[in-house]
Amino acid sequence: MTIFRTARQSLTATLAGWMLLFSGQIFASPGEVSNVHVVPAPLLLEYGSGRFGVEQGLNIFVKDKSGPAFTAAELLREKIATSTGLDVEIKHSIPSKAIPNSIQLLATDTDDSLGDEGYTINVTSRGIIARAPKAAGLLYAAETIRQLFPAELESKAQVPGLKLSIPALTIIDKPRFKWRGCMLDCSRHFMEKEFIFHYLQVLAYYKINVFHWHLTDDQGWRLEIRKYPRLTEFGAWRKGENGAPFEDGKTYGGFYTQEDVRDVIAFARKLNIRVIPEIEMPGHSSAAIASYPYLSCNEDMTEVRTEWGIEKTILCAGKESVFEFEENVLAEVAELFPDEYVHIGGDEALKDKWKQCPRCQARIKEEGLKDEQELQSYFVKRIEKILNKHGKKMIGWDEIYQGGLSSTAVVQYWNHDDYFRGAIANGNHVVTSPTKFAYFDYPESENTDKPKWMRVTPLSKVYSFDPIIEGVEPWQEHLVLGGEAPLWTEHAPQERVEFQILPRLAAFSEVLWSRRGPKDYEDFLNRLDANYLRLDVMGIKYNPFEKENRGKPETAVTPAP
């Protein structure tokens, strides 16, 4: 039997009150609850007596007719009706008492300690009642209820003879971190809009609430900017992959119209997922420079880059026309994306061109800067002012700390410990994404097609991650917003994304959601086994390495999919 508890004295008075409310229940025997395996682990799960079984004519009660709460009701209705063939109806009302054969999703403001995303679930033989202060909590309650049912719930067709039931239980749950993110690089390989919808549904299943959308890089500019049409007419396409021509001379790529972006944002909002765009600068900008060569120092880029690696041609920091370009681009980005943050990249900006550029050297002299590192700081600070002008806050990879940084920027730590420690000392909020724990483009095992420079990041390594990493003092912990798992796609086109992120996303979600303290990896694996069954029914093409090699030496090799 899997039981997650916290000491009663560690709960807030409100949570303790919830526990007292359900204290009359009797714990069930292990055999009765062996099918309950939730990922990420809830804060508290206790079992009662009896079971709730779904019957014909199930009613799902929810007041909202849109947003995450309605999404929660529609999710459960669709899953239950499809897998069982039963009639399931959503009712937009709030019952005054428990209703037999029902699932109630109730918004209540009586428990502020649950925060914006916490919830409670009470399952009895009569039905299920989920309560949450906010609609997001009801969505996460529904995702948990989904995992309480057998894996066959996920079937895309009716399962003959399927009977859905859940043991009587009580769950009290809320997340540890408010920033639980995944980054998807759609520049190296364009991902179709319908696939983005699917990807967002997978994130929501694991209670991930930030979609960091990497939209521009050296190999492609994916976002329609109406003032600069060549960015997508030319910059969204390349002649081949890693320099190899495609058949019939066809180009490779694609882009998202602004209407596409609005569709993705609307879809994500229903799943309580924030969409944060990344517009790379000053490095990783050769797709933009190929579209508008005047953006570079010496206008020498004529084609969108096809090979992987770091491009030396970057945006010129000495030209006012570059800042005018970014002002116009970011104005459209700010209008299109409602989230408070815009990510500017800022990583791997090689300074060779700046050292050779008379305009950049003149800028260093005019601004009294020490060197090219401080020139990058000058560039970043000007971009932050542009974003602030448009009502946005700036986030960037940890290199934005080079040469100094305002305390209002958010730093995404990925590789440079000194920049991370400096940002924390400077009072910056940080999101932690260290390569050795969180990079999902790195293989889960020694792989036959693994580039030599990539380190292996097994499931156990991901599960050992904590966003409060070494060097963060107790009084600084509030500066850590949470964590994020990037998937760079040099070696991961659309058809390989599921394989790269799963099952490691399950471990990552538990690290970000579940309570702080020692974690039981064996217990996680036990729950993951049940999760594998669900993914199988969903048709998700996850990496089977851990499942097939558990207990074997970690040097085992698995082939690419």
Name the residues annotated as catalytic: 217, 284, 348
- Helices of type H across 3-134: 13-21, 67-84
Crossing angle of the two packed helices 320-336 and 258-270, in degrees rounded to 10? 50
Burial 277-314 (b: 16+ CB within 10 A, else e): bbbbbbbbbbbbbbbbeebbbeeebeebbbebeebebb
Handedness of CA 39, 45, 46, 50 (dihedral sign): negative
How far is 493 from 227, CA to CA, in rounded Å?
29
How far is 31 from 1, CA to CA, in rounded Å?
8
Helix (H, G, I), strand (E, B) or coil at 344: strand
Q: How many CA atoms lie within 13 A of 494 on its CB side?
A: 15
Token pair 């390594």 in the structure block, residue: 461
How far is 334 from 373, CA to CA, in rounded Å?
27
Identify any residues that bridge with 171 across adjacent strands, giving them in sequence order.
45, 121
Crossing angle of the two packed helices 135-148 and 193-205, in degrees rounded to 10? 80
Nearest partner of 560 among 445, 439, 448, judged by Cα: 448
Token pair 């947003």 in the structure block, residue: 67
Nearest partner of 251 among 242, 259, 241, judged by Cα: 241
Which two structure tokens, joined as six digits, stand for 431?
A: 């999101």
Amino acid sitting at position 497: V
Which two structure tokens, joined as six digits, stand for 504?
A: 């490691």
Amino acid sitting at position 259: E
Q: Tell the burial category of 249 from Cβ atoms under 10 Å away from its Cβ (0-12, 13-18, 19+).
A: exposed
How far is 305 from 485, CA to CA, in rounded Å?
25
Nearest partner of 372 among 279, 283, 286, judged by Cα: 283
φ, ψ (nearest 5 deg) of residue 198: -60, -45
Please, are residues 211 and 276 in contact by the beta-carbon 8 Å criterion?
A: yes
Which two structure tokens, joined as six digits, stand for 55?
A: 């019957």
